Amino acid sequence: MTDNNSRSTSGASVSARSLRDRWFAYLANHHWVARESLRGLLQVWLASAMTWLVIGIALALPTILYLILSNASNLSGDWNGKPRISVYLQSTVSVAEGQAFAQQLGSQAGDVSSLEYISPAAALAEFTERSGFGDVLQTLDRNPLPAVIVIEPTSRQAAQLQLLIAKLESKPEVESVSFDLVWLERLFAILSLAERFVIALGGFLSLGVLLVIGNTIRLAIENRRAEIEVVKLVGGTDSFVRRPFLYLGFWYGLGGALSAWVLVGLSLIFLATPVEMLLASYQGDFVVSGLGFNESLLLLASGGGLGILGATLAVGRHLRRIEPS
Amino acid sequence: MIRFDQVSKRYAEGREALSRVNFEIPDGDMAFLTGHSGAGKSTLLKLIIVMERASQGQVFVQGTNLNRVSRRQIPAIRRDIGVVFQNHQLLFDRTVYDNVALPLTIAGYQPREVGRRVRAALAKVSLSNKEKQFPIALSGGEQQRVGIARAVVNKPSLLLADEPTGNLDPGLSEEIMNLFVQFNQVGVTVLIASHDLGLISQMNRRQLLLHEGRLVEDRPAILTVGSDDGQ
């Protein structure tokens, strides 16, 4: 609506109307075009549903992968919440000395949130019970296991943990300290790899959605060629001609995102029970989390946005070529 | 209102549709553009609504040099020109009302105002009872009148028509021409391309005769415009 400048018009002219009137008429036109383009889609609902489903599948795939990922990092977050340091004591340290040492470690405020002293005898008993090697151990003439102090550190940051480990290792009573950071690091590396994979996949599939919508819009433009010509003949601006197609793209995208949302929901219902059963056998209560309110909103917004973008690309390429003749 | 200054139009394939055409139509005038088909009538009209651009020379409409009009400015030019096409250019999937309302919707009128103006325009062409019908249900003459209603609904200061009576019988043709006369009487400048010479001579208006792209005759009305009013 940037026209009508620098022209002297006679009689009742367009520019004679107030800006306010034109603004409301502009909004009314948006409203009308939005409603009409949606109604047009619903009139051929079967064809529209097909397009929505195609877009829905393309959007659902990365969304499901994203959910798997976010559930997995929730899971590892739980495990990561309780890192444990095992401090093996020298075999020369007696039980009493060991207990005293443990008490001394525990009284050091800050580093240690809780600890437990496990005597060689207790360790042997536990090992016998868990490993099933009890008979073999009984043939040994002395207990080969050292005393262990299991520490739950207050900090969860790798740098501080390493500092704590170094301090523990320097104590004369300590034989060795073990803390399994490696597997956690690996898990995080795998998760961040998977995250990149999901982003790349999401990118490809979004491109697919753009092409699907672009192509559908291109067909719509061809179908309404006569209308476009007439609109241009009676003074329709480019943005006026473009508007119905942008709304069409928006409805395609939004409808696609809605069907993706439904597909994701159905997949979760299908997967949640076995996944929860599997995880229950490891560590108790785990609930598979679906799409939250914000994530659903983001999905719908991306769908609508991709629709408008795809339509914009198609319209830019094809609309200019249609001129009345 | 309209001024052609040494205007030539050569199409890409080399055909020269207009060559060195000069004329001027003042505000409030009514003129006919005649000549055989292929003489350049349609090309001349297309230059006025910037469907085509002059290869040489300059076209002025309401003081605007159309050679200097950018692509973005074209819609504004067209909004102040009503055009009636031989093939009507109606949208067959929309009602008569919606067809006539199109220029107003485009120009950004409020729905209330659109309704008022569309009904006035339909009354003018005696189609008030057909507003809910689709163009396909109308006769050729009625379709042409819908086209005219659409052309005048935005109250343009210039009305162009390309063979508006092309496919109509003489009675209907005269009826359509009288509509144009009525619009001219309220101050609209009218330019009609037609080869219906019998009807044109009856109208007694200025005639511009094109032959193979050249303006070969510019015959003024025999009587003054004012004395026509009684016909």
Query: d(Cα A167, Cα B222) in Å, to the nearest integer?
Result: 117
Structure tokens at B33: 């553009």
User: Please, which pLDDT band fits residue A6 given cuts at 50, 70 and 90?
Assistant: very low
pLDDT value of position B229: 47
- Region A246-262 average pLDDT: 96
- Chain B CA closest to residue A29: B105
* pLDDT average, residue stretch B43-68: 92
Of residues B122 and B71, the one with the higher pLDDT is: B122
Two tokens at A19?
A: 């800006």
Q: State the Cα–Cα distance between residues B131 and B95, nearest whole angstrom.
A: 7
Query: What pLDDT sits at residue A9?
Result: 38
pLDDT (mean) for B22-31? 94
Average pLDDT over residues A95-105: 85
Burial of residue A141 (CB within 10 Å: 0-12, 13-18, 19+) is exposed
Burial class (CB in 10 A: 0-12, 13-18, 19+), A91: middle
**pLDDT band (50, 70, 90) for residue B201:** confident
Q: Which residue in chain B is spatially nearest to A4 when comparing CA positions?
A: B76
pLDDT band for position A156 (cuts 50, 70, 90): low
Whole-number Å distance between alpha carbons of A63 and A266: 13
User: Residue B106: which of A21, A28, A231 has the nearest Cβ?
Assistant: A231
pLDDT tens readout for residues A255-273: 999 999 999 999 988 888 8
User: Is residue A118 helix, strand or coil?
Assistant: strand
Supply the pTM of this predicted model.
0.72
| Domains of chain B with CATH codes | 1-76+188-222 (3.40.50.300)
Between A173 and A57, the more confident residue is A57
What per-residue confidence (pLDDT) applies to A11?
A: 39
B87 touches chain A (CB under 8 A): no
Q: What is the pLDDT of residue A8?
A: 39
CATH code, A85-178: 3.30.70.3040
**Which regions of A47-147 does DSSP assign to beta strands (E)?**
85-89, 112-118
Q: Residue A236: pLDDT above 70?
A: yes
Q: Which two tokens stand for residue A241?
A: 């001609």
Residues forming beta bridges with residue B57, ordered by sequence position: none
Question: For residue A252, is pLDDT > 80?
Answer: yes
Q: Does A17 touch chain B (CB under 8 A)?
A: yes
Of A89-98, A244-253, B89-98, the poorest mean pLDDT is in: A89-98
Among residues A56, A297, A64, A54, the alpha carbon closest in space to that of A197 is found at A64
pLDDT band, very low/low/confident/very high, at A69 (cuts 50, 70, 90): confident
Residue B228 has pLDDT above 60, yes or no: no
Of B75, B90, B103, the CB nearest to A3: B75
Q: Please state at what angle helix B111-124 crosses helix B96-107, rounded to 10 degrees.
A: 130
- Within 8 A of A237 by CB-CB distance, chain B residues are 72, 75, 106
- Give the lowest-confidence range in A137-151, A187-201, A306-320: A137-151
Q: What angle do CA B181, B182, B183 make, to 5 degrees?
A: 90
Q: Which pLDDT band, with edges at 50, 70 and 90, does A283 fall under?
A: low
Mean pLDDT taken over chain A: 82
Q: Please give the pLDDT value at position A10.
A: 39
Kindly report the CA angle at B186 between B183 and B191, in degrees rounded to 5? 45
Pick from A94-108, A257-271, B117-131, B155-169: least confident: A94-108
Establish if A167 touches chain B: CB-CB under 8 angstroms.
no
Structure tokens at A38: 């949606």
Residue ranges of chain A assigned to CATH 3.30.70.3040:
85-178
- Check residue B159 and give its pLDDT: 95
Could you give the ipTM of this predicted complex? 0.86
| Cα–Cα–Cα angle for B89, B91, B92, rounded to 5 degrees | 115
